[in-house]
Chain A
Amino acid sequence: QVHLQESGPGLVKPSETLSLTCTVSAGSINSYYWNWVRQSTDKGLEWIGRIYPRGNTNYNPSLKSRVTMSVDTSKSQVSLRLTSVTAADTAVYFCAGINGFCTPTSCLPGYFDPWGQGILVTVSS
Chain B
Amino acid sequence: AIRMTQSPSSFSASTGDRVTITCRASQGISTYLAWYQQKPGKAPKLLIYHAATLQSGVPSRFSGSGSGTDFTLTISYLQSEDFATYYCQQFYNYPLTFGGGTKVEIK
Q: Do A and B share a complex?
A: yes
Interface residues of A (CB under 8 A from B): 35, 44-47, 58, 60-62, 94, 96, 109-113, 115-118
Q: How far in angstroms is the closest Cβ of chain B from A40?
A: 12
Partner of B94, one of A44, A46, A109, A113: A109
Please measure, in the bound complex, the distance between the C-alpha atom of A107 and the C-alpha atom of B94, giving whole angstroms.
10
Please measure, in the bound complex, the distance between the C-alpha atom of A35 and the C-alpha atom of B89, giving whole angstroms.
14
Main secondary structure of the interface of A (DSSP, over half): loop
Asked whether any CB of chain A lies closer than 8 Å to the CB of B54, the reply is: no
The stretch among B10-18, B67-75, B95-103 that forms the contact with chain A is B95-103
Asked whether any CB of chain A lies closer than 8 Å to the CB of B55, the reply is: yes
Contact flags (1/0) for B38-69 with A, using CB distance below 8 Å? Answer: 00001111100100000100000000000000
Asked whether any CB of chain A lies closer than 8 Å to the CB of B32, the reply is: yes
Q: Are B100 and A109 in contact (CB under 8 A)?
A: no
Partner of B91, one of A46, A58, A61, A111: A111
Please measure, in the bound complex, the distance between the C-alpha atom of A96 and the C-alpha atom of B46, giving whole angstroms.
11
Q: How far in angstroms is the closest Cβ of chain A from B21?
A: 15
Please measure, in the bound complex, the distance between the C-alpha atom of A118 and the C-alpha atom of B45, giving whole angstroms.
13
Q: Are B43 and A111 in contact (CB under 8 A)?
A: no
Please measure, in the bound complex, the distance between the C-alpha atom of A61 and the C-alpha atom of B98, giving whole angstroms.
15
Asked whether any CB of chain A lies closer than 8 Å to the CB of B104, the reply is: no
Q: Are A111 and B89 in contact (CB under 8 A)?
A: yes
